Amino acid sequence: MKRSNFLQALGIGALSTTLLSHNSYSSSLLERLADRRDDDLSYHKISNIRFSDVRLQYPRLVGKNARLDLHGYGPRVEICVIETDKGATGWGSLRGSRRDAENISAQLIGKKLSDVFATDVGILNDSHLAFDIALHDLAGVVLNKPVYAMLGQSEPIITDCYSGMIYFDDLEPTHQPGGVDRILEECRSDYDLGYRQFKLKIGRGHRWMPFEKGLARDIEVTKAVANAFPDCDILVDGNNGFSVGEFIQYLDGIAGVKLFWIEEPFHETVPQYEKLRAYLNKNGLNPLLADGEADADQQFLHTLIDKNLLDVHLTDIEELGFTNWRKLIPQLKKTKTLASPHAWGSLLKSYYTAHLAGGLGNVITIEGVSSTSEDVDLSGYRLANGKLIPSSLPGFGMRLLKEV
């Protein structure tokens, strides 16, 4: 769905008007406090925007999923650094391409920070969505507050975090596949890092193996991980690699394994999700149904929610935008729908989500993408006993180590 359409579906089409509403606050005192914070922002004018990238390194090669080939050893993430005339600096991942961001960067130069960003809203103009993350970081730096505190929590709401890195690594290397033992080794490694939830990619029979053999391997992997890690939650992600009938075969094959959630088993449609929900209800199963990862039709996701066919909203933290997630979460709370913004690919996105969850709650778990970096100081965050604890430093609490 095009950006203008999904913003309209969220009721965010006129960001500069709608998102400025203070109706969510029950006290004029809170409004005055927000105004005072924005007065602090008004002392700063944006003086410079620079562009670069940072390298993130996975601890191992990440393999295939149901649809895509090898995912590699980690991304090079495009970023921007925003400076003010008072010497404050913030940075963050770009939403969209660097070229698009460069083309609109002149719109921000010379403007007061309070003209483009409000603490109780986020960005004030949808055309600045590319700079959404960096502006949140900059505002936190100016106010000397972590982003979760700027969202209303003096101490963050601490949220579970799952390993999102368990791909079809049993199939690698092609000349000598590691098999199920390889998957168990990776889960053990991730367990030692602090994870207590594993998301297993399934759907090997969609592209990489004959269907029956792929289904058998999906079942074998799921049972093996569940047996080896009884104190951990098991999530499964089909990347739309099944039909509803094929996925029910998988569920029959893992009978007795309790799933925490089911993610994108097939391309989302009402009839297929109705059939899956009926199967789960008939068999007394209650995993969460999660969908809407990227390029999502937001209006259709609301249709699934209205029909009780979607439990967890997954749209990517950068695709939808941090500001728009701030608006969406209160709407999800009204329908008792949970959130878990997609973060795959970049540990930075996991950490941004930790602040969103830390400030607003309603995030059931965070997608973890274990990485190291020589370009970014990631030490402010901790993963302990399955929980991701965000940095308490100003902004998102990550210092650039490279010269930009």
Question: Residue 128 sits in a domain of what CATH number?
Answer: 3.30.390.10
In which residue ranges of the chain is pLDDT below 70?
1-37
* Res 11: pLDDT: 45
In this structure, the answer to whether residues 244 and 193 fall within a common structural domain is yes
> What are the residue ranges of helices labelled H in 22-67?
28-42
Helix residue ranges per DSSP H, 151-291: 179-193, 204-207, 211-228, 244-253, 270-282
H or E segment at 92? Answer: strand 89-93
Do 178 and 318 belong together in one domain? yes
* Domain around 310: 159-400
Identify the three-state secondary structure at position 398.
Answer: coil
pLDDT at 22: 38
pTM of the model: 0.91
Nearest to 90 by CA among 129, 131, 55, 37: 131
What pLDDT, on a 0 to 100 scale, did the predictor assign at position 153?
97
Same domain as 219, residue 339: yes
Domain count, the chain: 2
Whether residue 117 is found in the same domain as residue 170: no
Amino acid 38: pLDDT = 79
- Residue 60 region, left (φ>0) first, then alpha (ψ -120 to 50), else beta? beta
**DSSP readout, 350-371?**
HHHHHHHHHHH--B--EEE---
Ramachandran category for residue 284: left, alpha or beta (phi over 0 → left; psi -120 to 50 → alpha): left
Give pLDDT, residue 37. 67
Domain end marker among 85, 109, 144: 144
CA distances from 25 to 29, 31, 72, 251, 294 (A): 9, 7, 45, 45, 31
Q: Are residues 26 and 103 in the same domain?
A: yes
Q: Are residues 117 and 208 in the same domain?
A: no
Same domain, 135 and 164: no
